[in-house]
Structures are given as structure tokens and as C-alpha cells.
Amino acid sequence: MSVPLAFLGVVLIWSTTPLAIQWSSAGWGYLFGISGRMILGALVCAVLLQVLKPGLPWHRAARQTYVAAGVAIYGAMLSVYWGAQYIPSGLIAVLYGLNPLITGVVAALLLGEKSFTAGKLLGMALGFGGLVTIFASDILHQDHAWQGVAAIMFSVTLHSVSGVWIKRIGGGLPGLTVTSGGLFVVAPLFFLTWLLADGHLPSDIPAQAGMAMLYLGVFGSALGFSLYFYLLKNLEANRVSLITLLTPVLALMLGQLLNGEVISSRVLLGSSLILSGLVFHLWGDRFVGRLLPVAR
């Protein structure tokens, strides 16, 4: 697998995922949409495991890794699907751009990493300012919109905790193995959640929702996660984080072009602050070091 192609694949998949989430829930409810996606993703992973044969070990570290991945897939994705009912798809991608910032805080608390340098603190402040700006925007005057934003932020936090947890376990498993193990853990949980909370099969299958579910199951779940873990294994973390700079911009454009989403000026301002915060989180220490050489 070419690293540049894998990088481009993750950017494209993550940029289209928020819009596909909204489409896949239309007509039959978000629980059916997410359950169908995860079950389909697990089936695709089962086939890929047989074809590519990366193995699915079952030692203690492997089991812990699958559980850690499953926590993010179940809790974080369930929150995203619920929150996607109330806010535009582009805003979902922008809020997920806060993931590296929140991961830095979690890594500092759990792994003792140095996440509170001057540049990173400035990035966190800008990201927080962008989040406050979005909360204060006109979009949150809509019914339940603030709940949608809160659900996405909970999802981002849970995703960050899961990533640090996996790093702390240090199982060193291939990306496809981690993705497969996580999906095998959560696919039955999603089915039970749908069965207990809804349990009604749709009378008809909307074409758009069906295609979106198929896309998310194959690309969003099985391929997207596997490519992401592959990049983490072959690139520096800062380079992988560039994905979160590109996907919000593309997702905002796709939401406007394909879904008729109107983004207010305050949301655009908040999005710009969040992206600026991510830039400073990644490279702010270099800027500070040039301005204040003594700080080195």
C-alpha cells in the first residue's frame, strides 16, 4: 500500500463520512442506520481477514486493544449518529478537528506526555474559542442544536480517550486486526441496541439511505479505519494529524454543495478558530521558539 494513496483515501473517506451518516439515517432512523453499517463493516473485515491474513490474535494485550477500539466505535459513533440529527454534516467534521487537541490533554493526563507547551496551549485556547463561538452562533437557536454539538464533543472526547488507551496498551497489532477486533466486539452491541430501542424493520429501503449505509459499511468502517491505523504505523503523528486540517474544509464544501447546508458567518468564524488552533497545536512551538529563542 502506498502511503500517499492511503493518506488521500483517509482524507476522502473522513470528508464524506459526516454527510453519509446523515443520509444513511434518513427514512429508517439512526439506530438502524448505524447498526446496519457496523454489521456490514464486520462482515467485510471478516472477508478481508481471510484474504489478507493479518491474523486475529487473542492474547491479553490483543483483547484489551479490541475493547479499547470497541469503546470508541460504540460510544463515539452512537453519539455522532444521534447528534447528526440536529446539526449540519460540515460542522460535525469541524468539531472532530478538535480531536488532536483533546488527545493531547488526555495523553498528558494518562501518559505523562508534554502537551502543555506554549504553542499547544495557544492552540487549545484558539480551539476552545472556536467552540464557544459556535455555541454562541445562530445555529444553536434551533431546537436541540446545542444537544447535537454536545453529543459530537462527547464523541470526540471518547475517541481521544480510546486512542490514548490503545497506545498505552501497546499491542502493536496491524490496522486491519484492530479494526476487525473492535467491530466484532461492537456489532452485536449495536444490534441489541437497535432491537431493544427500536426493533422495527423499515417497510421500504430509501435508495439514498441504502447506498450511504453500504458506503459507510465498506469504506467508512472497514477500509477507513484500517487505512488510518496503517498511516499511524508508517508516518509521524504530526503528519497524520494533517488529515484533520483537510477534512473539515472539504466536509463543509460537500455539505453546502450536496445537502444544501447553510453555514452562518459565526460558524465559519468558529471553524476558522478551531482550524487555527489545530495549526498552532501542531507547529506552534516552532513559532514560539523563533519569536522567543531564549525559550528554547
pLDDT in tens, 121-168: 888 788 888 877 876 665 656 677 888 889 999 998 998 888 788 878
Instruction: Supply 261's cell numbers.
Output: 447546508
State the pLDDT at residue 40.
94
Domain boundaries, the chain: 3-295
| pLDDT(9) > 80 | yes
- The 10s digit of each residue's pLDDT in 174-184 is 888 988 999 99
Dihedrals phi, psi of 170, to nearest 5 degrees:
65, 45
Is residue 295 scored above 60 in pLDDT? no
Q: Which residues contact 203 (CB under 8 A, 6 or more apart)?
A: none
